[in-house]
Structures are given as C-alpha cells and as structure tokens.
Structure 1
C-alpha cells in the first residue's frame, strides 16, 4: 500500500499522480479519490494506444493504473459500508450486482467504471480490454469483506429477477416457457429446467446465466412446484448429435472475444442462480425473519459429460444421477482461471487430494468409476435416465426434505464462509481473467480451433481434445 501523502508523491516524475491523503472524512476523501483517478486516467489517455506504446510507455500506464487501484482499495477500506448505504438508500433498495456497481459509478466518479466504459470494453477481445472489470471487482471485494454490507448484498442477489416476476403469471397458467437459452416445463409437482445452448455443447455464457436464473426463479416462485430438475438439451454438434449433455463449462469463444462479463457471469452465476439452487429466494423485508430462504430440492441429470462449470453446478444439487457413459472434469487450469466456488466445495465432497487432481491436473472421472461415487449418487444406463430422474424427484417431494436440506446447508456452508470466499474470489478471478498467461492460452486455443485439423468449430471442444484431458 502506498504511504499517504499530500499533493504529489515525493520523487514522482512530473505529471505522475500522487497518493491521496485519505483521513476518513467522507466528502474530502471522495474528492481526493476523484482527483487521483482522473489524473491517472488523463496520464494514460495522453499515451499512444496500447498496441503502439513503447515498453517505457506500457510501464508508465501500468504505474498509473496501479496508483488508481491503490487509491480505490484504500478508499473502500475506509468507506465501503457508507458507499453501499448511500447507493442503496439505506439498504431500502435491493440492487443486484450490475445495478449496484453502475449506480456507484454515478455517485462516486472514479470509484468504478461507468456503464459506457464497460460497454466499450465489451466490444473488445479479452486481450485488448482496459481492465475496468478489475476495478469493479475491487469494489465488490470490499463490500463482501464487510459482514453487514456483504450479507445485504448477498440477500439482494437472492431476490427474484424482474424478468421472472413478469413471466410468473404465464408460467403458472401454462406450465411451460421457452427462455431461449433455457426451457422450463412443469409436469405435476416437478419443474424441469433444460439448458439450451446446443451448438456449443450447452456451454455457459452471460445469456445462459440470465436464462437459467430466470428459470430457477420461476421454479422457486411457483407454489405448484416442489422439486426441480436440471438437465442439458439434446445437442446439434456433429460429434454428439442426438445425445443430451449436461454442460461444457464456460464458452471459451465468448471469453476470448471479450463477451464474458465478470459481473454478469463470474459473480452473478455464483451469487445468483447457483446460490438460489441451494438457498432458494429471499423475498424481502415484509416476511418474517424466521421465514428463512430454504429453497427446493434439485435433481441433476448428468448426460454424456459435466465439464468445468457444469461439474461446479452438480456439487450443489441434492441428487445427481449420471449416465454410465458420462464423465466429470474441472479443467480450469487449461484456461488459467478459478473454477468458481469449486475450490471451497469440492474438497468437502471428494477430499482434498482428489480435488487437487481434478483442478490442478484436469483429471477426468468416469461416472462408472469408483471415484465418481463422491460426485454422483446413482449411475444408470443412458436409456434409464428418464426413469431414474423421475423416481428421484418423487422421493425428494417428501415434505420433510426442505427442512432437512436447510439444516445440511447450514452445517456445511455458512453465509460468512461463502461471503469471505467470494470477497477474495472477486480479486483473484478478475486478475486471472486479465493476466497475460490466460490471454496467451485463449489465443492458442483460438488458433488451434481455426487451424485445419484443429479442435473444430465449437467453443469448448478444446476441452474434448486428448491434449486437454
């Protein structure tokens, strides 16, 4: 941390911004933060564009960016709770991640990038982005590090999405909705949510996360539903045509081309639909404090494979049924990123050593192998999947299941543990996404994908190639 001083830092070359002298007075510190970050931005803007910079100019830009980030860290160490309180009007507004960070950008110039700045970055490949997402994640890391503010933020992410609330009357009436990247269908007391991103082996991206959270909300909001089922759709890819697959993890092409948002994907999927699969919905302050979110039980149907993020999701489901020809894998190191909350949950399920083999060495676990007993509850022939899933859903419809699963989750994963993990995850994952080695790995995957005889035309197919398994 840079030592606070007044004016420009001692020994700084002309034009280099100095460290703000934050003293804890909110209005003064807000002004100093704005002055510092603006000066850093002006210094960077005066340099040539990134591809045209000399090594010395790259170093100067890096120093300016680092100075601005040190200022943001220090400001939020002092004022994170006050910032959240002001932006949410004393927590009376349940703002989701995107709403919160862009409202903060309007209230506190220089604290986080504006919506326009992030939108401009989304037009660029990952290698060319400004790194503004890292500044967003500094913001969320500090909010989550505070127990009271972090808990309020996480509760806000358990509220139903506006899209789900709007669609609920239609779903209650028809029992079926096509959300584009997901379909939800109610059959009796069971709501089946199907991931529909067939051309990329049901890989996840921002749009899939949006559709899945909407579908999960609908299943949780509909009183006629007592059990949910999560499954992948039948694929259109030539290698798997006619077969279902649970999911292929993150959409690598979207990551390479800069279309995977850290807030809208990395943070939202963990604090949104995945956590709702565990805890259900938070329905606001009008409900009794004893009416804690408990959610509904979920069955996972693992057809063909659960790669990366799909295995992460399987870890939180109440009953996992796999086809005998299916497998699990977590090849996050192939891309150089962190596999969501798997680093916290996987060791509890399979043990520390096996978790490290999966994450560090990309070990693939066949569903019909002894090791898979820790990852799935039942293995059946592919043609028996429908029957086994239906039987599991009927069993989990027992009225005593919700209370028991609530107690399981209370014992296994406290809100404090999750909040602390996510605070650190925000910093670590955003740094990983913008690190040179990740960009280089994405570039190699992209070149291989486009080379004749390479991995093929699908975003995640590199994970299927022998070199990556």
Structure 2
C-alpha cells in the first residue's frame, strides 16, 4: 500500500542510525577490533537495521513514491540511493559515508552496503515499486545514448574492457581485459551495459555475439579467453560495489540481454522493449560470472578444450542469478554439484550439453559462430525467444529472486569467510 510515511518511523530510523554512528566512531577500525568491540558494533548496527526494516515493511511503496515523485521519474540504483539518503536520514548511508567507505579495503569497511541492500531488497519486493524499479534499470544509460550517434556512423567503439563492432547485421562484443583474463569489475560492468545498449539500439544490428578476446597473460598468450569471473583482487581492495557491480550487472546489462532495452520506438505498441537474439562463444573457460552469463544466451557455442565452472561456495558469494537459472537448465542435482561442490564441467562431457548447444574443435569455432549468427538473424527467432524467456523466466519470479539477492549478497560481501578468502587470494597473487 502507498500513502504517507509515518514521521515517527522516519524519526526512529534517524535516531537509531545516529546512535550507531556514535558507537562505531568510538571504536578502532574493523580489523583492529577485539571480539568484545566487534560485538558492540554489531549490536548497534543491528538496532539501526531493525528500525529500517520496521519502516520498510509497511511503507516501502510510500518511500519509493516519495523518492520518484509518485513514480513519475525513473531513477537508476545510484540515483535512487542518493535521493533516499537526502529524504530519509539514516535509512541508507550518506554520500560522505559511502565516499569514505569505498576508499577502504574490504576488510576495513563498516558494511554500509548492507543498509543499501536492505532498502533495495524491500523496494524490489514491493508489488508496485519493484516492477517500476526493474523497468528503470532496463532503460538505456546516458553514456550509451551519448555514444549512439557515433557508433551508428562508424560501427566501431573501443571501451576500456569491451570492443563493440558491427559486422554486417551482427554486433560483435569482444571482452578484452587481457590484464586479468576478462575478470569482471565495476568498469567492466559499465562497459558491458554500454555495449549491450548500443547493440540493442542500433537498427542496423539484428543479432549479437559475445566472445572473449586474445590474452597477453603468459599462460594464455595469443588465446581467446571468455571470462575468469569476478576480479577477486578488486574485491579485496574494496573496489567491487554492491550497487555498481553486483546489482547493476544483474538488473542492467544481463537483464537487458533477456528482456531488451526499454525505450520509446516505432513498434512500442507491439513490445515496450527492443530485443535481439544473442549468441555466446566460449574459448578456454567460462568461470563464475562468465558461466552465469551463458545461461541467458539463445545459443551457446564452445571449443572442445574449454570448461565451465561456478565456484560460488569456494569464493563465498552468491553467483548472481546463477542459482535462479542453473536449476532450470541443468537440474537440481547438477546445480548443487556446480555451485556447492565446485564441480568443473568440461565441454566434451555429456552434462555440458545442458548448458552448451554446440561443441566444436577450437579451429572450427569461428565458422560455427558465422553459421549461428546467420541462422539467428530471423524475425521468427526474435519473437520465439521472447516467448521462451517469458515462459522460462517470468518477470515476477526474477524480481522476487533479486529482492532476496540484494540483501543476501550484501551480507556475503562483509562476511568473515569472504574477507579471509579474498585476502589470501591477494597475498598469493603478490607472492607470485
């Protein structure tokens, strides 16, 4: 239900947040706290989070309506949180708090992103606010709209981590972070969403391909690599954001691959979004987030010497919407083997057929890509993939998953086991 937000609940949140800040300010930074000090900080934070949840349980829609002027404006996640910090003191961290927090390594942060996850989870869960927020995240980014005229003219755009090329009627998106084997970070998510927007908005593009570029890493020099998953070094350094990476990735470019980009166009009366078929080609490996990506593509090709893995339990975090999609594709048993046990699936294994459409020898992958792009460039493919996605991944089911994900992933980011694991990974990297 909408209506007004009770002033008493707003005041309770602000007062609880202020008390928490006073307690935390009197303590050492998180890594230096003794157990008793950690317990004191946790108790204070839990009190404030209880007040936030009490406000949001019955008034999430009213909060959202105030932030979006009665749903008359579409705010992306960062803008929504900024407006929330101004309108509801203590509900989410302030801009100054987040600036200070984001400058610290993960182990030294206070966990303010958990409070962002509380708000975003409540808004996504609301039956009115949630769909509006999902639609807001399907809109093209300002960056893409600025770059669209130049891309339509040249057909080429080189971003920091993605090369976008229009070849005939196909958009080729090549992930080119050769410094880290296409491991994902905030910059890569920004570049990918920009490239996906442009591929969808360009009327000269009918079908899209995602593939990894050639690497300069000594072990893989000259070979294409699809993706090494999340950049754990960036996570250790505190540079993987809940909002700009983990949530934007799922609600932004990956969801746009599934649903399309939401924009006014000449056929809006037929469909509010512009959609296109998507093909993925896997060279070498698709680990973690790379494996998650494959689950939304319409056709997935792979080299016979490649493999897939989703080592979520080993990393300690939730593998995006992988838990939501993997069971549908591969079944519950294999999902648990992959996610909980760390099973690696090689492209030539029989079970790989549940995730891959075609496996060819590495030297034949280019030709297989050409055939796939030609066959997928069809109006009938476009309509049928829309209906398949609607049946297989209903928007309401995806929204419910993301509402829970917003909080659970935030909690995982600040759990002791994750901080310990990424710390060991970073130390091992320095030792090498």
Calculate the TM-score normalised by the size of structure 1. Answer: 0.89
Q: 1:106 to 1:284 in 2, by over 3 A?
A: farther
- Find the residue that maps to 1:272 and give its secondary structure: helix
Q: Secondary structure at the match of 1:223?
A: coil
Q: 1:95 aligned to 2:69?
A: no
Task: Look up the match of 1:248.
Answer: 228
Q: Closer, same or farther in 2 for the Cα pair 1:112/1:399, shift >3 Å?
A: same
Taking the aligned partners of 1:418 and 1:117, their CA distance within structure 2 comes to 31
Task: Report the Cα offset of residue 286 of structure 1.
Answer: 10
Q: Distance in 1 between matches of 2:379 and 2:333?
A: 37
Q: Report 1:17-36 matches (<5 A).
A: 26-36=6-16
Give yes or no for the alignment of 1:283 onto 2:263.
yes
Deviation of 1:70 after TM superposition, in Å, equals: 0.5
Q: 1:295: how far off?
A: 1.2
Q: Which runs of 4+ in 1 moved over 6 A?
A: none
Structural mapping, 1:39-188, within 5 Å: 39-188=19-168
Match of 2:394 in 1: 414
User: Structure 2 unaligned runs (5+)?
Assistant: none
* 1:170-211: CA deviation from partner (whole Å, max 9, x where unpaired): 000000000111110001100001111111001110000000
Distance 1:325 1:25 in 2: 58
8 Å CA contact 1:300–1:319 kept in 2: the answer is yes
2:173 is the counterpart of 1:193: yes
Inter-CA distance 110–379: structure 2 relative to 1 (3 Å threshold): same
Return the alpha-carbon distance in structure 2 between the equivalents of residues 342 and 227 of structure 1: 24
Give the Cα–Cα distance (whole angstroms) in 2 for the partners of residues 376 and 270 of structure 1: 21
Aligned equivalent of 2:366: 386
Q: 1:92 to 1:366 in 2, by over 3 A?
A: same
Q: Secondary structure at the match of 1:198?
A: coil
2:264/2:272 contact within 8 Å kept: no
Contact kept, 8 Å, 1:159 with 1:284, in 2: the verdict is no
Distance 1:388 1:288 in 2: 34
* Aligned alpha-carbon RMSD (Å): 1.6
Larger Rg over CA atoms: 1
SS in 2 for 1:143: helix
8 Å Cα contact 1:266/1:340 also seen in 2? yes
| Counterpart contact for 1:309–1:330, Cα < 8 Å | yes
Listed as ranges, the gaps of 5+ residues in structure 1 are 1-23, 457-469
Structure 1 stretch 172-181 or stretch 113-122: which is displaced more?
113-122
Alpha-carbon distance, 1:264 to partner: 0.5
Aligned residue for 1:199, secondary structure, equals: coil
Q: Alpha-carbon deviation of 1:39?
A: 1.9
State the TM-score, normalized to the length of structure 2: 0.96
Query: Is the contact between residue 278 and residue 294 of structure 1 (CA under 8 Å) also seen in structure 2?
Result: no
Alignment partner for residue 316 of structure 2, among 319, 325, 336? 336
- How much has 1:33 moved relative to structure 2? 1.6
CA drift of 1:122 comes to: 1.4
